[in-house]
């Protein structure tokens, strides 16, 4: 029997409410999944050449679960592909022009246009896998670089199998200049491109600049042409429609789509329609559904349209309905692989992030009526995965906003949004400006315009691609290599074949750790190995970056990012004004705690010799349980607001971020910058990485982003928060930090998850206390916080009766995931964390 309905838990599972019949239907229809007649599954399109490739694995190097499937994906997508009739001159054009033409052709002439019943927005199918448009020579050259024994694929796999992490340039992860597009329309973009083209010298026109601008002009016409198709469809459907109200809507849409997104948007409906088409075509252009393609500060740039339409008589509820249609559309990104996995392709893996509220000029708070309207939409649609909202808080956020935020947290298991903290975040962005010498682009007067992408990765808006999940490095690897003098502690195992690699001297010979006489000597070895793992990551990444720059242009996306037209350079070649790639560190707390444990066990308390510790790690702590207990329970840990332990955390942070800033990509000149996202790598890599000195055996999860190790934060939430803030740099004693007194070594920001029991928000008095906690987080904490309000008993019931909890959302690493769709181990960990906090 279902117990969910009969049992009273401390909280009720979040359910949607206040939906009109139209939205209720669309939402329910979406969740019918494979049962639907219509879906947005990938469709495949080929040039028809025998060497064609549709699936570009490089974009998936940061998703290690896919490694085993590359070959089947490559062959099956080609097999499923329909040939597209090519322009007679197609093969005479440059690659970027071919690709621009091909994507436009597929989206306008090949992919069917459809409108779901009652839908107020056009733009349904966008998930495509299209030919990379390589000619035979290009395909050969590219395959040589990627495949084969010395190819990039093997290097990436080596990097992953040996526990370093993963790296590769992936799609999305940026905020396009949507505000400009709404403002000037594609017509304005096209005019700008043609002016620039006409100003090129004859020579430049014949060269790569001319190719790029011509390709971008082709791409700039795609939204107009597609909108025209949808306009005709709306007109046809209007004619056949018997419901007069619906017919009027369709007629209106038909007219609207003849104007926008080519012309500037005027009404709120037009703005949302244009925004949706502009956005969805990025996913088509990149052949990747929803990878952190983010919207930026929607409540700011959509506000004028909202106000104009409201003044002209638009009902607020109707405005919300358009937004809700937008929500449903964003979720259809998951249809890409709808037939894969137990949850119909809904994997939580995408991050179409939108940002709400936050600071404006002169320290002004920018919360407005649209902020609250969108929060209402989120609350009424929840639980649902996309788009992922992020609410920016700061020291002077209004009470009403915090009331709304806390009230929404109290009724949702995983808070329906992430919280970003402006002061610390802006400090990181200004640190980046200083480190990279781009103060003219990021400075005191515009840093408040920043917004997060994907989950929580801070970037500037409209001119910035910072590759925020391109490199994910396990810092812990440096501790392992320092212990073993530059070799893996245990032979790496190929997960596919089970074959063990011989131990080789991969890292520098940092010395025989068993002969080290002091802690300082060990730290020197650790520094050397940290330098090495960062360099290694940079080298492997750089190969992928160069290949993408040469073979995988995205001319449509390039139109949406400032700098590309100006330089006549594709976004994949370093076109944007701000050109970074982010090295996201994983295993931070495990690394800090391991260093603390080595110091404590071997040097300070002399509980064992270094040789004994090494043996214990090689034996995965088996037979060394007493020593493991010393490491786990007695050695100091990060996350307790303990000055000495947190100083170690700060030191580790300073070391690896310093190494990261030293590097740039060779082909595209993108500077590496540091961040801590962790995605879900801390789960999977826990099975790859050897046992660690903090007492963790192989097979147990690593630490998540900037969070303390699971269970280590025994001094409560405030101590946890204080440690996180200190690890980022804390606040400058003299008041002169990176922004105000705030210091922040991570411009990208860091994911911080905290889990609380719902009883903490049981009444208004306690909600006030939690508001105060968030306000203090602004002062002491990190850049971003995600809150889980979960009752462990409810989660246990969900494990027993998953069918009753299909829509139960929990927060993992900057994203919400359906509890029943995540692995049992991760479920258990989330429960354990809640139980730990309740003690």
Interacting residues toward another protein by CB under 8 A = 1, 3, 6-10, 625-627, 629-630, 632-634, 641, 715-719, 722, 757, 759-760, 762, 766, 768-769, 772-773, 775-776, 779-780, 793
State the minimum distance, in angstroms, from the CB of residue 836 to another protein: 13
First CA to last CA distance, the chain: 31
State the minimum distance, in angstroms, from the CB of residue 414 to another protein: 20
**What DSSP letter does each residue of 129-187 carry, written as one string?**
EE-----HHHHHHHHHHHSSTTSHHHHHHHHHHTTSEEE---S--B---HHHHHHHHHH
Distance from C-alpha of 466 to C-alpha of 579, rounded to nearest angstrom: 6
Distance from C-alpha of 59 to C-alpha of 102, rounded to nearest angstrom: 19
State the minimum distance, in angstroms, from the CB of residue 8 to another protein: 5
410 vs 558, beta carbon nearer another protein: 410
State the minimum distance, in angstroms, from the CB of residue 716 to another protein: 5
Angle between helices 716-728 and 422-436 (to 10 degrees): 20
36 vs 775, beta carbon nearer another protein: 775
Residues in a beta bridge with 471: 167, 583
Nearest to 631 by CA among 696, 556, 544, 726: 696
Which residues 6+ apart lie within 8 Å of 780 measured at CB?
Answer: 718, 721, 722, 725
Distance from C-alpha of 501 to C-alpha of 160, rounded to nearest angstrom: 13
State the minimum distance, in angstroms, from the CB of residue 776 to another protein: 4
Nearest to 789 by CA among 807, 762, 768: 762
397 vs 552, beta carbon nearer another protein: 397
218 vs 757, beta carbon nearer another protein: 757
CB neighbour burial string for 711-733, b if at least 16 within 10 angstroms, e if fewer: ebbeeeeebbbbbbbbbbbbbee
Distance from C-alpha of 820 to C-alpha of 424, rounded to nearest angstrom: 34
State the minimum distance, in angstroms, from the CB of residue 705 to another protein: 22
Long-range contacts of 802-806 (CB under 8 A, 24+ apart): 803/2, 804/2, 804/3, 804/4, 804/5, 805/4, 805/13
504 vs 759, beta carbon nearer another protein: 759
Q: 3-class DSSP state for residue 354?
A: strand
State the minimum distance, in angstroms, from the CB of residue 802 to another protein: 18
Distance from C-alpha of 412 to C-alpha of 161, rounded to nearest angstrom: 38
State the minimum distance, in angstroms, from the CB of residue 650 to another protein: 16
State the minimum distance, in angstroms, from the CB of residue 671 to another protein: 34
State the minimum distance, in angstroms, from the CB of residue 597 to another protein: 12
225 vs 793, beta carbon nearer another protein: 793
Which residues 6+ apart lie within 8 Å of 403 measured at CB?
Answer: 767, 771
* CB 480 within 8 Å of CB 163: yes
For the chain, the maximum distance between any two Cα atoms, rounded to a whole number of angstroms, is 86
> Position of tokens 């928060």?
721
Distance from C-alpha of 77 to C-alpha of 594, rounded to nearest angstrom: 45
709 vs 748, beta carbon nearer another protein: 709
State the minimum distance, in angstroms, from the CB of residue 231 to another protein: 53
Long-range contacts of 723-726 (CB under 8 A, 24+ apart): 723/638, 723/639, 723/640, 723/641, 723/642, 723/645, 723/646, 723/649, 724/639, 724/750, 724/752, 724/781, 724/782, 725/424, 725/780, 725/781, 725/782, 726/646, 726/649, 726/650
* CB 252 within 8 Å of CB 93: no
State the minimum distance, in angstroms, from the CB of residue 641 to another protein: 5
Which residues 6+ apart lie within 8 Å of 191 measured at CB?
Answer: none
State the minimum distance, in angstroms, from the CB of residue 630 to another protein: 5
Number of C-beta neighbours around residue 243 at 10 A: 10
Number of C-beta neighbours around residue 112 at 10 A: 10
State the minimum distance, in angstroms, from the CB of residue 646 to another protein: 11
State the minimum distance, in angstroms, from the CB of residue 240 to another protein: 50
State the minimum distance, in angstroms, from the CB of residue 775 to another protein: 4
Distance from C-alpha of 351 to C-alpha of 348, rounded to nearest angstrom: 8
State the minimum distance, in angstroms, from the CB of residue 6 to another protein: 3
150 vs 643, beta carbon nearer another protein: 643
592 vs 627, beta carbon nearer another protein: 627
310 vs 836, beta carbon nearer another protein: 836
10 vs 825, beta carbon nearer another protein: 10
205 vs 607, beta carbon nearer another protein: 607
State the minimum distance, in angstroms, from the CB of residue 9 to another protein: 8
111 vs 754, beta carbon nearer another protein: 754
Distance from C-alpha of 774 to C-alpha of 765, rounded to nearest angstrom: 15
CA torsion, ordered 197, 203, 204, 207, to nearest 10 deg: 120
Nearest to 293 by CA among 413, 176, 159: 176
Nearest to 635 by CA among 566, 693, 582: 693
DSSP 731: B
206 vs 800, beta carbon nearer another protein: 800
* CB 813 within 8 Å of CB 455: yes
Distance from C-alpha of 592 to C-alpha of 708, rounded to nearest angstrom: 9
779 vs 826, beta carbon nearer another protein: 779
33 vs 717, beta carbon nearer another protein: 717
212 vs 710, beta carbon nearer another protein: 710
Nearest to 581 by CA among 660, 655, 677: 660
288 vs 621, beta carbon nearer another protein: 621
């Amino acid at each position: 029997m279902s117990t969910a309905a009969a049992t009273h838990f401390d909280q009720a599972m979040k359910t949607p409410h206040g939906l009109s019949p139209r939205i209720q239907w669309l939402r329910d229809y979406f969740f019918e999944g494979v049962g639907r007649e219509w879906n947005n599954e990938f469709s495949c399109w080929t040039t028809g050449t025998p060497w064609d490739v549709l699936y570009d694995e490089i974009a998936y190097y940061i998703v290690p679960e896919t490694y085993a499937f590359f070959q089947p994906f490559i062959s099956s997508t080609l097999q499923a592909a329909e040939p597209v009739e090519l322009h007679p001159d197609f093969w005479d054009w440059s690659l970027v022009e071919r690709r621009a033409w091909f994507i436009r052709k597929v989206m306008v002439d090949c992919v069917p246009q459809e409108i779901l019943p009652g839908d107020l927005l056009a733009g349904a199918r966008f998930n495509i896998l299209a030919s990379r448009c390589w000619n035979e020579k290009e395909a050969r050259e590219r395959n040589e670089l990627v495949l084969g024994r010395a190819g990039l694929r093997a290097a990436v796999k080596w990097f992953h199998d040996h526990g370093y992490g993963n790296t590769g340039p992936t799609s999305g992860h940026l905020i396009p200049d949507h505000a400009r597009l709404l403002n000037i329309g594609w017509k304005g973009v096209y005019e700008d491109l043609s002016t620039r083209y006409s100003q090129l010298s004859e020579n430049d026109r014949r060269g790569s600049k001319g190719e790029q601008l011509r390709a971008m002009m082709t791409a700039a016409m795609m939204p107009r042409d597609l909108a025209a198709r949808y306009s005709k469809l709306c007109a046809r459907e209007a004619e056949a429609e018997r419901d007069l109200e619906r017919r009027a809507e369709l007629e209106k849409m038909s007219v609207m789509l003849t104007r926008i997104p080519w012309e500037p948007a005027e009404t709120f409906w037009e703005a949302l329609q244009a925004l949706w088409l502009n956005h969805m075509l990025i996913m088509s252009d990149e052949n990747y559904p929803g990878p952190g393609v983010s919207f930026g500060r929607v409540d700011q740039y959509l506000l004028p349209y909202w106000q104009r339409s409201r003044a002209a008589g638009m009902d607020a509820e109707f405005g919300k309905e358009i937004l809700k249609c937008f929500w449903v559309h964003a979720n259809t990104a998951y249809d890409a692989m709808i037939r894969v996995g137990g949850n119909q392709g809904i994997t939580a893996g995408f991050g179409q992030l939108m940002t709400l509220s936050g600071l404006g000029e002169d320290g002004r708070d920018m919360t407005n009526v649209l902020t609250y309207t969108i929060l209402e939409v989120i609350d009424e649609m929840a639980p649902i995965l996309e788009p992922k909202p992020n609410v920016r808080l700061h020291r002077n956020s209004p009470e009403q906003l915090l009331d709304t935020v806390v009230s929404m947290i109290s009724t949702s298991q995983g808070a329906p949004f992430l919280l970003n903290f402006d002061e610390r975040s802006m400090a990181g962005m200004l640190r980046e400006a200083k480190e990279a010498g781009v103060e003219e682009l990021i400075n005191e007067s515009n840093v408040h315009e920043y917004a997060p992408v994907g989950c929580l990765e801070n970037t500037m808006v409209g001119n910035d691609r910072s590759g925020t999940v391109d490199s994910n490095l396990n810092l812990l690897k440096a501790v392992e290599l320092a212990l073993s003098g530059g070799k893996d502690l245990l032979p790496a195992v190929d997960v596919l074949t089970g074959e063990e690699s011989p131990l080789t001297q991969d890292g520098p010979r940092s010395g025989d750790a068993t002969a080290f006489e002091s802690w300082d000597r060990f730290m020197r070895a650790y520094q050397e190995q940290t330098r090495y793992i960062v360099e290694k990551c940079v080298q492997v990444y750089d190969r992928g970056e160069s290949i993408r720059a040469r073979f995988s242009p995205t001319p449509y996306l390039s139109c949406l990012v400032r700098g590309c037209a100006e330089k006549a350079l594709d976004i994949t070649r370093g076109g944007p004004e701000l050109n970074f790639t982010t090295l996201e560190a994983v295993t931070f707390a495990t690394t800090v705690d391991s260093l603390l444990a080595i110091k404590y066990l071997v040097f300070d308390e002399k509980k064992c010799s270094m040789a004994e510790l090494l043996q214990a790690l090689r034996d995965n702590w088996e037979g060394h349980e007493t020593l493991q207990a010393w490491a786990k329970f007695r050695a100091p840990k990060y996350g307790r607001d303990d000055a000495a332990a947190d100083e170690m955390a700060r030191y580790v942070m300073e070391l690896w971020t310093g190494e990261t800033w030293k590097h740039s990509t060779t082909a595209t000149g993108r500077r590496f910058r540091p961040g801590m996202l962790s995605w879900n790598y801390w789960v999977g890599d826990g099975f790859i990485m050897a046992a660690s000195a903090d007492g963790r055996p192989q097979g147990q999860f690593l630490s998540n982003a900037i969070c303390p190790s699971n269970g280590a934060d025994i001094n409560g939430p405030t101590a946890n928060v204080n440690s996180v803030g200190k690890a980022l740099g804390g606040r400058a004693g003299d008041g002169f930090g990176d922004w105000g007194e705030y210091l922040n070594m991570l411009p990208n920001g860091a994911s911080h998850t905290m889990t609380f029991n719902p009883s903490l928000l049981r009444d208004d008095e306690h909600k006030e206390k939690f508001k105060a906690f968030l306000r203090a987080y602004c002062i002491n904490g990190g850049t971003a916080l995600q809150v889980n309000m979960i009752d462990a008993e409810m989660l246990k019931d969900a494990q027993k009766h998953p069918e009753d909890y299909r829509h139960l959302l929990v927060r993992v690493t900057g994203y919400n995931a359906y509890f029943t769709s995540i692995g049992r181990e991760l479920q258990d960990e989330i429960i354990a964390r809640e139980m730990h906090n309740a003690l």
